[in-house]
Amino acid sequence: MADYTKIKQQLVQRKAQVEKRIKEHFQEEQSRTLSFSTGELSQYDNHPADTATDLYEREKDFALLEQLEREHEEIEHALSKFNTGTFGICEVTGKVIPYERLEANPAARAVVEAVDNRITDDRPPEEDVLDGFEKYNFDQDDHETEFDAEDSYQSVAQFNENSMTFEDSSLDENGELIGYVEEIEGFLSTGIDGYTGDEDVVFQRNVHYDQYLNGK
């Protein structure tokens, strides 16, 4: 049987290093608020980009902490196998793990052939909508009546397609009067000084005026 004394010493030393790093750098971080970490009494007067940078750094610290905690668990698992006499034995195949592999990775659980080295297909959820709005168009589906992605796009795209002139800038494709509290606001206008008297109010002969006269 191979002598794993040197490997065990490496595991013990690495365990002490990991525990020291967690204690010195991350132990108090979990209980601190973002304001405490940044030294800011309030976040209201900060630019959103500055707050986002602080939040990114904090999330990165938590990711590093999670990685260290996972490594600590693997080390403890490897050390526990010394007590059961199973250290150096592949947990999948039962074969002896090559000594060279244990030198490179003392906490290795299995031989290289038994390790799943496939790259996981964990893609960001944002990629689900990169295929375009047609992927979420339910117009042809009789079982779907929801306000789909295409409808959402059409609702905001109308403001880019309009000429933005006074006559029709506030109308959607259905001709509805949008953007006014009272119907008459769509065809009454004043000068640059605002309302200065009834004699200065001007009737605009536009689509709003036509719809008002037609009772729509």
Cβ–Cβ < 8 Å for 11, 83 = no
Q: Beta-strand (E) ranges in the chain?
A: 188-189, 202-203
On the question of pLDDT at 101 being above 60, the answer is yes
The predicted-structure confidence for 39-77, as pLDDT tens digits, reads as follows 666 666 666 777 778 778 888 888 898 999 999 999 999
Q: Which two tokens stand for residue 78?
A: 């490897």
Choice between 176 and 147, residue whose per-residue pLDDT is larger? 147
More confident residue, 30 or 102: 102
For residue 168, name the pLDDT band (cuts at 50, 70, 90). very low
The rounded distance, in Å, linking the Cα atoms of 191 and 189 is 7
pLDDT at residue number 71? 95
Selected residue with higher pLDDT from 140 and 35: 140
Q: What are phi and psi of 177, to 5 degrees?
A: -80, 105
Specify the pTM: 0.49
- Asked if residue 82 lies in contact with residue 102, where contact means CB atoms within 8 angstroms, the answer is no
Q: Which domains can be identified in the chain, with CATH numbers?
A: 5-112 (1.20.120.910), 128-161 (no CATH), 166-216 (no CATH)
Distances (CA, A) of 81 to 28, 48, 76, 108, 212: 32, 50, 9, 11, 85
Q: Which long-range contacts (CB under 8 A, 24 or more apart) does 13-20 make?
A: 14/71, 14/75, 14/106, 15/72, 15/75, 15/76, 15/79, 18/68, 18/71, 18/72, 18/75, 19/72
Nearest to 40 by CA among 25, 22, 62, 55: 55
- Residue 195 has a pLDDT of 81
Residue 119, pLDDT above cutoff 90: no
Of residues 163 and 13, more confidence is placed in 13
pLDDT at position 169 over 50:
no
Are 170 and 187 spatial neighbours (Cβ–Cβ below 8 Å)?
Answer: no
